[in-house]
Amino acid sequence: MKKLILLLLPLLFSAYSLAMPKVEFRDLKIEGQQQLVLFVADVTQLRGSAAQVDKLTEGRLSKAIKASGLKNDFGQHKTFYGLSPFSQITVVSGTDKLLSQAELQQLGGYAVSNFPANGQQAIALFSDDIKTDVAAPEAYIAMGAGMRDYHFDTYKKADAKTSPRWLILNAADNTAATLYQNDLRYVVEGIYLARDLASEPGKNIYPQTFVERVTAKFSGLKNVKVTVLNVKDMQKHNMGALMGVGLGSVHEPKLLVIEYNGTSKNTPPTALVGKGITFDTGGISIKPNDGMWAMKSDLSGAAAVAGTMLAVASRGENVNLVGLMPLAENMPAGNAIRPGDVLSTMQGTTIEIISTDAEGRLILADAVRYAQQQYKPGMLLNIATLTGSAARALSDEYAALITRDWDLSVKMMAVGKLSGEEVWPLPLHPNHFKQIKSEIADIKNSGAGNPGASIGAAVVATFVDEQLPWVHLDIAGVDWLDADIAVAPKGSQGWGVRFMDQLVRQQAKQL
């Protein structure tokens, strides 16, 4: 076993940085600004800063709003040009209701989505007219703006790269600045890390480089311990499932473990386990070419765990947390596992391979068992781009949530609602466990019938103690989108960082 404190990265990663927007909070004066964003509760009755802007434009703003047909529906927005003395004014409707923190984030995303990507002028945001009972709402607006302003342009020419925006939010005191600078910006950094990892070509991100890239982000952070298990370590623990998935690749599998200890050693940690298939061809059960390029993002679960750990450790949360990222590349080769093979796991349970393309549950099987044996967690959550079944059932509105406990499911739905990353429960029935019984091994990695998301969860559940609070998130439908949304451009969403971060916050409050 190898303990890592600091890694010097190869030149491949030397140019990387988190190109987040430059954010300031101050008591702004409208006069002298050029590019404005006005959040309004009612577009027919401009108040506060919006009313002042209308006066300075001699009523042309209100006339333009009326002529444009802008409605009061949440998130509706229009951009107006040439309303002297301003060069650009974007009006975003927040509706005349109390807004949640997730909705505030969305408003921030709507605001920056209307400005040129390489705009050099500062964007001034005025939020005095929105209604919310969330403390320091400007901090959440800035967080949403940061999430929406993400760009992955590493491989573009220098003159095509996007410069970070400069956002100035109107805030009369330091509350919003403190919340954003000491807390929420770290969540945005975690999301950026997760998106970067999922957007990278599979040629560049494989188990070892994933470890190097992630480990570098934790250099210098307090109360953090990083451990990497290599193949020899896995052999000692009999992790035949994790090793088996990686047999067809020239890149050896790894198990990256990041521990953060922010409270008493006697407090059991929460364990986060993320699937990290750095590229998924399907193995011998090879996928069709159409869409296979997107399988570079099959590590999104592990990337989200890395991003969450970064956010939590950076702000110094009062919790104990351990993130486990099993990493492998699923490739066809002469020594790759085949359908019909049997793998032995750390738990001792044997698995018959029905499909080598049902590989995520295999690496999770050894990782969740290792998490329980080594860290004795008080709760375990695993997250994975596991099944197309979850995407077909819930599309891109919800991640699939599966637990053994309905009350826990209800709590997780509340976490999703608050965080802005919503989940919806799918069943875990005793029959699902019957469907994965094997004639030649203890279980098989794929069952008969249609409930694919539940079958995948049943395989993982086989390796999770029944008395342990356990949450299974299948993010196959939400991790990569083909169109922009309020808080993210199309592509990798970094889905799960906000959800898991919110879960950790709520657990910290209970300590």
Domain ranges within the chain, ordered by starting residue: 29-169, 188-509
Is 361 part of the annotated catalytic residue set?
Answer: yes
- The pLDDT confidence band at residue 380, using thresholds 50, 70 and 90, is very high
- Write down the pLDDT at residue 315: 98
- Classify residue 290 as exposed, middle or buried by CB count within 10 Å of its CB (0-12, 13-18, 19+): exposed
Rounded Cα–Cα distance for residues 12 and 6 (Å):
17
Give φ, ψ of 123 to 5 degrees: -105, 120
- Write down the pLDDT at residue 119: 56
pLDDT at 511 over 80: no
Q: For the chain, percent helix, then strand, then coil, each to nearest 5?
A: 35, 20, 45
For residue 150, the SS3 value is coil
Q: Which residue, chain included where needed, has tokens 């802008």?
A: 70
- Write down the pLDDT at residue 120: 63
Q: Which of 287, 315, 404, 417 is catalytic?
A: 287
Instruction: Over range 197-211, report the average pLDDT.
Output: 98
Instruction: Over range 51-74, report the average pLDDT.
Output: 96
Cis check: omega of the bond before 326, within 30 degrees of 0: no
Q: ∠ at Cα 263 (501, 256), nearest 5°?
A: 60
20 Cβ contact partners less than 8 Å away, ≥ 6 residues apart: 146, 149, 164, 185, 188, 189, 192
Is 195 part of the annotated catalytic residue set?
Answer: no
Q: Which of 361, 444, 498, 505 is catalytic?
A: 361
Give φ, ψ of 378 to 5 degrees: -85, -20
What mean pLDDT is reported for the chain? 93
Contact between residue 46 and residue 66 where contact means Cβ atoms under 8 Å apart: no
- The pLDDT confidence band at residue 1, using thresholds 50, 70 and 90, is very low
Reported as type and span, the H/E element at residue 93 is: strand 88-93
- Write down the pLDDT at residue 98: 94
Instruction: Over range 118-126, report the average pLDDT.
Output: 79
- Write down the pLDDT at residue 2: 41
Instruction: Over range 408-415, report the average pLDDT.
Output: 98
- Write down the pLDDT at residue 412: 98
Residue 217 backbone zone (phi > 0: left; psi -120 to 50: alpha; other: beta): alpha
- The pLDDT confidence band at residue 81, using thresholds 50, 70 and 90, is very high
- The pLDDT confidence band at residue 7, using thresholds 50, 70 and 90, is very low
Rounded Cα–Cα distance for residues 486 and 110 (Å):
6
Instruction: Over range 383-407, report the average pLDDT.
Output: 97
pLDDT in tens, 341-368: 999 999 999 999 999 999 999 999 999 9
Q: In terms of CATH architecture, what is 29-169?
A: 3-Layer(aba) Sandwich (3.40)
Give φ, ψ of 3 to 5 degrees: -95, 125
- Write down the pLDDT at residue 121: 76
- Write down the pLDDT at residue 351: 98
pLDDT at 448 over 90: no
- Write down the pLDDT at residue 417: 98
> How far is CA 336 from each of CA 114, 243, 340, 348, rounded to the nearest angstrom?
49, 10, 12, 21
The pair of structure tokens assigned to 94 is 């927040």
Instruction: Over range 218-242, report the average pLDDT.
Output: 98
pLDDT in tens, 99-113: 999 999 999 999 998
- Write down the pLDDT at residue 5: 34
Reported as type and span, the H/E element at residue 434 is: helix 430-435
pLDDT at 375 over 90: yes
Q: What is the 3-state secondary structure of 108-144? A: HHHHHCCCCCCCCCCEEEECCCCCECCCCHHHHHHHH
- Write down the pLDDT at residue 19: 81
pLDDT more than 70, % of the chain? 95
Rounded Cα–Cα distance for residues 268 and 265 (Å):
8
Instruction: Over range 212-233, report the average pLDDT.
Output: 98
- The pLDDT confidence band at residue 95, using thresholds 50, 70 and 90, is confident
- Write down the pLDDT at residue 15: 35
pLDDT in tens, 160-179: 888 778 899 999 899 999 99
- Write down the pLDDT at residue 118: 53
Homologous superfamily, domain 188-509: Zn peptidases (3.40.630.10)
Q: Tell me whether domains 29-169 and 188-509 share a fold.
A: no
- The pLDDT confidence band at residue 116, using thresholds 50, 70 and 90, is low
Q: Which of 229-233, 236-240, 444-448 has the lowest mean pLDDT?
A: 444-448
- Write down the pLDDT at residue 115: 76
- The pLDDT confidence band at residue 258, using thresholds 50, 70 and 90, is very high
Contact between residue 146 and residue 125 where contact means Cβ atoms under 8 Å apart: no
Contact between residue 205 and residue 278 where contact means Cβ atoms under 8 Å apart: yes
